[in-house]
A = this chain, B = another copy of it.
Amino acid sequence: ADLPPKPVRLGLCAACHGETGMAQMPGAPNLAGQRLDYLRKALQEYRDGTRNVPLMRTAIGPLNDAELDQLARWYSAQTPQPQAAAHP
């Protein structure tokens, strides 16, 4: 009920992180319920290259600050879902 509007750019992120922030791919972190301040900073650092992850820079390089903020709010507002335990 308290969810922010779905970001226009969500599809780009959802391929790996899921629409609700539960990762869909090995190597991708869960984002559901992550702290908003952390997500905002991480997105800015991926975009400017401080966090040097080429895939992320390619994905969000074209996004503006408002779009990054929408994405951070969306994922932070999601509730983490239980997952099957993975203990490789």
Contacts and interface: CB of A to CB of B under 8 A. Distances in A.
Each complex incorporates copies of this chain amounting to 2
Contact of A35 (B4, B28, B41, B51): B28
Size band of the interface chain A makes with B: 20 to 34
Contacts of A37: 26-27, 88
Main secondary structure of the interface of A (DSSP, over half): loop
Contacts of A28: 35, 38
A82 B82 CA distance: 12
Contacts of A34: 29-30
Interface of A: 2, 4, 23, 26-30, 32-38, 41, 50-52, 73, 76-77, 79-80, 82-83, 85-88
